[in-house]
Structures are given as C-alpha cells and as structure tokens.
Structure 1
Amino acid sequence: MKSFKELGVGPQFIQALEENNITAPTEIQEKAIPFLMTEERDFIGQAQTGTGKTAAYGLPMLHKINPDVKQIQALVISPTRELTQQINKQLFRFTKYAEKKIFTEAVYGGEKIDVQIARLRRPTHIVVSTPGRLIDLLERNAINLEQVKTVVLDEADEMLSMGFKADVDKILAYTNSKKSRTWLFSATIPNALKEIIDEFMDDDAERLVVSNEKIVAKGIAHQYAVVDINDKFDVAVRFLKAQGDKRGIVFCRTKAGAQALAKQLYSKNIQAEAIHGDLGQRDRDRVMRLFKSKRLQVLVATDISARGIDVDNLAYVLHYQLPDQFEYYTHRSGRTARAGKKGFSLAFVAPSELGKIDELEEGLHISFEKVDLRQ
C-alpha cells in the first residue's frame, strides 16, 4: 500500500489528514487520487459508502484550486443536506494547513436562500450543494459557475433514487457547456445513471470499480437477534433501556416508520427523536444538537436522512428493520466504531428473514453472531 505522499498529495494536506487520523489510503483513494491529480479526463468511481470517497476526490480537487482566483472553481453535488454539510466540513479540515486559504461553502434546501446568496458573495473556491438548491441559485443568477473546471457527483445513484435526475441533467448540461470535467462517484450504476454517463460524460472516461471486500469497519461486532414482528417493539425497548447512557442510532426503512417508532419509544421514557426527509431544517438541526450534546440517547433515522451523520462515540447501531441494499447496511453500521473505537451493529430479523443474514455475510465478507434477547 502506498502512502498519501507517494500518491502525490502535498505535505500541507498530509498534515491535516494525520491530524484527522487518516494515515493510510483506502483502495479507492490509492487508485483514484493519482489519476485525478494528473489527468484532465472524466472519471467514474464505483464504490460503496464508507470507502473514503470524499478524500479520493477532495484531495485532487483541492490541489487543482488556484487560491488567488477568487471565483468558484469546483462544484460538489450530493443528495442530502447532511451529506452536503459533512463534505463541506471535511474539505475545510483538509485545508487547515494550506499555504493559501481555500474557501468552501455549503448550500442546500431548508435554509433561507437569501442567507446563502449573501455567503456566496464572499470569496468562494468550492461549492458543495444539493441539486435542487443549485438549480434555484442558477435560475436566480445568484451563483457564478463560469470558472468551474471540476464537477463531482457524489452518491449519484442516491440522487437519482430521490428524484433528482432532471436537476442533475440541467446541472451537467450547464457545466459541460463551460468545458468542466466531471467526476462521478456511486455505489451502483443503475440504468438511469448509465443514461447520464452516456449523455454527459466523455467516451474515454476512466472507470474504477472498488470491490465490496474490507469496506466495513474492523471495530464493529455484527450481531443479529431473531424477533417475531409482534414482539419487536417490546424487545427494542428492553434492549435500549439496557444500554443505559450509551448513545446509538435505530434505523427504519421509511419516514413514517421512523417517526412512529420515535414517538413510541419516547412514550416508554426513552429519550428518542426521529430524523427523516420530511423534517424541516430547523428541526433537523435541533435534533442533531441534542444528540451530539448527549441530551438525546437514541436517534431514529431513515437510510437517506442518515447520510452525512458524523457523531463521535456511538456505542451501537440497531437495525429495527433490515435495509434493502448491502451498501445501506455498510453505511448504517459505519455510524459506530469510528476513529478506531469499538461498537456493535445489531439487526432484528424475523424468522423469514434469516436468509438475508447469510447474504450480508457473503456479500460484505463479515460474520454475524446470533444473540438471544428474550427475557
């Protein structure tokens, strides 16, 4: 395995990486960074969530920024507000020791657009945005992308599954007219994404596929409990109360399910609140402040709403409902055992779902331990 220095990353960025406990490149970083640093072609990187994609594109992108040009030179599009905020924070951390300041700005729905327009009047080199908010800014002529040379689509398949294809088409039609290079990162390449690749990306675009192996954090203990659907809530209450002051995230598949479960848990004196796509930005920020400040014990989340959640010292993840896709399990479980710490990921499964545990073990190269949560 090569070091970040051997990949061509400058010492000012390496110092910031080490400060954030990023010392050895992941597979996608090792393969993508040298290409993105030196080539001026489009790029397609297929890798699951949790493989280090932000650094894989972020470090080359930062190297290409000219701090003396006080205009937007790079654009990152991501599907959710939380992921947009996380990417922005990560890029900010990477630039801590840069010789000249590189300014990034996050824009997303749920915050007053006038506030964001005012921020964009300041010198800005990189903008991280959700698709809908970027379209709003372009239609108001409130953002200048004339000097953008790098466009990153992060979690591209999620953007399409959330209904953003028309917005992505508009954005790429605009940036392609400015001769920008496009870097696309996605866990899967569904047909709708193939259409975007065929229409907006060069035929000679570099393609990289990273295997599913070794993408789940090593510090996670994977467990499952067989629970009948009629007993699931009562078992969850016992389990969560047994955790005491430890904090964790409980995952549901739907917004309605997350909201209902949070209310039910609260009625049992468990400090729980839900975060999902229908929650306004002010309420989302309030819930996350409570959770990060440890005034909230349990966060009940959907897969999409949890994109970008980065909270230290979470003891566990509970899959109240199993996810539909392998990469969702990886993303969910990765909320615990961060920064070298230990944690566990517990899945509730009905007797009819036991085959899914076998599929997860085989597909993600992990082992599950069966636990008994009966009284």
Structure 2
Amino acid sequence: MPPRSDSGERPRGDGFTPRRPTDQKRRNTLATFRELGVLPPIADALERVGITEAFPIQEMALPAALAGSDLIGQARTGTGKTYAFSIPLLQRIVAPDDRDYAEATEPGKPQALVVTPTRELAHQVTGDLETASADRRVRILSVYGGRAYEPQTSALKSGVDVIVGTPGRLLDLAAQGHLDLGHIKVLVLDEADEMLDLGFLPDVEKIVALTPELRQTMLFSATMPAAVVSLARRYMRHPLNIRAESAEDTQTVPATAQFVYRAHNLDKEEMVARLLQAEGRGLTMIFSQTKRAAQRLADALSERGFAVAAVHGDLGQGARERALRAFRNGKVDVLVATDVAARGIDVEAVTHVVNLSCPDDEKTYLHRIGRTGRAGATGIAVTLVDWDDLARWKMINEALGLPFPDPPETYSSSENFFHDLGIPPGTKGKLPRSERTRAGLDAEQEEDLGGPAAKRTRRRTRGGGRPAQGGQSGRGGQRTQSRAASSSADDPGAGNAESRSDQPRPRKRARRRTRAGKPVEHNTPGE
C-alpha cells in the first residue's frame, strides 16, 4: 500500500482536492449562534446536538434575517443553508407557550411556510426545525405526496405553527380548504433552482399569491439562474443578496477529493463492488441516471453481500423513507439512488459518492457530490464516464474548471484504480462473509403511510401475491380455490370433475351418413 503522509491522509494519485482553509483558521473566523443574537432556547437546543458555531452562510444571513429583511442566500451545497433560514423563522413566529400567543396571531393558523422541491428535502428540513425548536412547543407539520391526506388534515385542524411541504400537496390542501396561508409571516423558498428545473414555478407563484403581501421572504439556493432572480424581483421587497463564497473558492465542495475514470458499462458493477471495500469507507451514495439501473445495481450489490438500499421514483413513499431511515441508522451503508435524492439528504459520515455515469450537467454534478464533504468533513467523489459521454463530461469539466478533460481508461483490475481509492490489493467484487456486519434493509420496518401507493401495495399483497388471472384478486382467487378444495373433499366426484376439466376435451361424436333413411357405411368408388 502507498505510504501515508504525516497528517494521516493517503496520497491520492491524480485526484483533485480544491484548496480549503485549515480547521484552525475556520474555527477562529466563525461566530457562535449566541453571539449572532439567537434566542437562548434555540441556542441551547442546538448545543445539545453539538452545533455551536455558525457556518459562513449562517453568519452572514442571520443578522439580516433576524432583523426581518428579505434576502437571497446563495452558497454551495452542504454549507448549512437550512439553519440560515430555520433559526430566523423560529424566532419570528409566536409559540403556543408564549404569553402573547392568543393576541399576536390567530391560534392554530400557520405562521411560517417552507416550500421545497422534493419530499426528501421536506423531511430533512422538518427534522432540522424540530431539532432547533426542541425547547419551544412549536408545532411543525410536513406535507407532501405519497402520504394519506387524513393525518395531515387532522393536524391542520388541531393547529400548526410551521408548514414544510412540496408545491403539489400544498396546493391540494389549500384548494380543499384545509390549509389557510393568510397568516403567514415568513415564507421560505428552499432550493429554488431545483423547483425551477422540476417545473414547479407556476405552482410556487400560486402559493406565493395565497400568502399576505406584508411578509418576510427568504430564498435560498446553491445556484442562481436568471429565472430564479426574476422570481425574487417579483415577490421580494428590496432583498439583500448574500453569497457565502470568496473569490478564490471553487464551485465544488472544497473538502471533496474528486476522481474521474473512463469506464466500460459492463465493468462498472465490478468496479463499484471493489470500491466499496476501500480503506476507511463509510456510508456511500451511488447515483444512477435511471430508475431501472438504480434497482438493478442495488439487487446486484445485495447478491454480492453488501448492505444496500435503493431510492427512486418507482418505489412508494413508505419504501423510500424506509430506505433512508436504514441508511441514516447505519443498517445499510450503501444507498443507490436517482437524482430524487441528490437534494434533501443530509446524512453524517457519508465518505464516498459515486456517479455511475456522467451527470446531465454541472449543476447535477455539484449537487450529487455535495452529499459528501459536508459541514467541514472530507469526502471522495468518483465519476465513471462512458465513452459515449466524453463530450458531455468535457463540457462539465470546462464549466467547473476541473483538471479532468480526458479521464484515463480504467477497469476494475487497473492499478491506478486500486491506488487512488485505497483499495487493498487482491480485493474481489464480493464482500467476505466476515465483513457482513450490517443489519440490512430487512431490519428496518416500513411505515404504512396510508397513501395511494400503500393502498396499492396492500391490495397486491393480500392473499399472498399477485392477482389471479382472469381478473380475480388474490384473495378472491383463494376463496375460489378453498371452495373447490372443500367441495372436492365432501364430494369425490367434484374433485374428479375438476381434474377432468384440466384434460383435453373429447372429440365430438362423428355423424353417420345416411341415404334414404338408411346409414351408409362405406363409399365405393362407383358411387
């Protein structure tokens, strides 16, 4: 194995690690949340989970946001944008335990709204809000598709202070009269560029129109295309534009070492299996372009002995949340996902991110590799580029200023592949049984969310499997078989008749020819 440096880091071949400030310099330049004016209950709750110092985007955004100003926050993925708007949001609203709750607001009506492009991001934002508000009885509700309406409408009737949701479900609840956005004090549009890419801009405009004009609006995003800037100009009042990057920063996550290889599609599965046995590998995310490829790779890695789960659009919401819980809890250490998980998954100790193929563009690349190297930690990003995708990769490489214009041709047995990623020599593409220590996905229970997907799953699984042929459900088919079995037990003839029904039908009785009322047995040549 190659020698390690004095700092304990392995020399990484041709990998590219952007320059970043040292931990000591970072520690000396960041302020604590208490110094920035955060309320003691919120600061206490954050300190209990080890969050004391603010990251640059938080340090720059909190003073303006706490003063009630509209703002546009831009920073690289994984730099703490969520708490940059969560803390001002929680300080702006009035909690039920506050003395002036009844006078300051209409009890039970939402006072703050966070709009996210994906379900996973809504779930993550909700978790951060609950962490920061642990010492205040703030009622937070997450609403998104795939879940049943009834629990959400029931919670809205009981009273909610903060709503986090995706555009579609928010509009559905508002149209049905369950969600009243007329008392919103703070509106947050999180990952606005992703909402634009997913076609949610018209829905976002409808949601904004349902909120009061005199509100605080905060827009946060990793990139800022022209359409997002236009949206901000229409709906924000003299916003402050905050960009937490210095002139010498690169666009990519500074703490992430990047490796790019030209790989053959038939060899990628073996390459990934060997990469997953690299020294020091922790939780790993693998991104695929298609749902089918994601599920196929997850199944293949599971057969090779790895604790793996998949997240993609063909899975119901319950199955997706089950996979994410298992990944966060460490029951599985490999998550294969499509871009549905490129945003909204903030999991500690993700050491490796693998692009199974070349991403569509530089923004997708940034968001994918941003799942590692978060909050000052280090990480490794590996991209496997097909021969057909070289032109697209060169565009990404040029846009981001990366030093990989011509990735080296690499296979699962290549020496540079083993050396760069710290894979022990002789490693094969199957995990030894002695190292299979994870509980696996089966150890995580799937929650019944009561949504349409769950109902379809229940219908499909009732009676033990797929519906029977001929349009009968599995349960109905079982009843038919049970009646047939019982009747055959009571009447042996019925069983024989049923068994005969499976045999070919006998030929019809041949007709006998007659002439003048007399049968004709044979035809002679003279006739």
Q: Corresponding residue for 1:183?
A: 218
Q: Decide which of 67, 71, 83 is 1:43's aligned counterpart.
A: 71
Q: Corresponding residue for 1:54?
A: 82
In the superposition, the TM-score normalised over structure 1's length comes to 0.85
SS for the counterpart of 1:97 is coil
- Structure with bigger gyration radius: 2
The 3 A distance-change label for structure 1 pair 330 and 318 is same
Q: Corresponding residue for 2:475?
A: none
CA drift at 1:357 = 8.2
In the alignment, does 2:145 pair up with 1:74?
no
Once superposed, which parts of structure 1, at least 4 consecutive aligned residues long, lie more than 6 Å away?
214-218, 368-371
Q: Distance in 1 between matches of 2:182 and 2:35?
A: 33
Comparing 267-276 with 72-81, greater Cα deviation is found at 267-276
Q: Corresponding residue for 1:303?
A: 339
The 3 A distance-change label for structure 1 pair 280 and 209 is same
Residues 8-44 of structure 1: per-residue CA shift (max 9 Å, x gap): 21222222222233232222111111111113x4322
CA drift at 1:116 = 0.9
Q: CA RMSD in A?
A: 3.2
Comparing 75-84 with 142-151, greater Cα deviation is found at 142-151
Q: Distance in 1 between matches of 2:73 and 2:39?
A: 22
SS for the counterpart of 1:45 is strand
Contact 1:50 1:330 in 2 (8 A): no
Instruction: Within 5 Å, give how 1:269-280 maps onto structure 2.
Output: 269-280=305-316
CA drift at 1:137 = 0.6
Residues 282-307 of structure 1: per-residue CA shift (max 9 Å, x gap): 11123223334444342111233242
Q: Decide which of 107, 131, 141 is 1:93's aligned counterpart.
A: 131
SS for the counterpart of 1:304 is helix
The 3 A distance-change label for structure 1 pair 242 and 268 is same
Q: Distance in 2 between matches of 1:334 and 1:357?
A: 15
Q: Give the gaps of 5 or more residues in structure 2.
A: 1-28, 96-100, 419-425, 427-527
Q: Give the gaps of 5 or more residues in structure 1.
A: none
In the superposition, the TM-score normalised over structure 2's length comes to 0.62
Aligned residue pair count: 367
Contact 2:80 2:375 in 1 (8 A): no
Q: Corresponding residue for 1:372?
A: 416
CA drift at 1:181 = 2.6
Contact 2:78 2:371 in 1 (8 A): no
Contact 1:241 1:270 in 2 (8 A): no
Contact 1:245 1:297 in 2 (8 A): no
Report 1 or 2 for greater relative contact order, CA contacts < 8 Å, sequence distance ≥ 6. 1
The 3 A distance-change label for structure 1 pair 52 and 241 is closer
Contact 1:47 1:187 in 2 (8 A): yes
The 3 A distance-change label for structure 1 pair 30 and 273 is same
Residue identity matched to 1:185: F
Q: Corresponding residue for 1:10?
A: 39
Comparing 55-64 with 65-74, greater Cα deviation is found at 65-74
The 3 A distance-change label for structure 1 pair 360 and 13 is farther
In the alignment, does 2:167 pair up with 1:131?
yes
SS for the counterpart of 2:153 is helix
What fraction of aligned residue pairs are identical, expressed as a percent?
A: 38
The 3 A distance-change label for structure 1 pair 149 and 244 is closer
Q: Distance in 1 between matches of 2:321 and 2:195?
A: 22
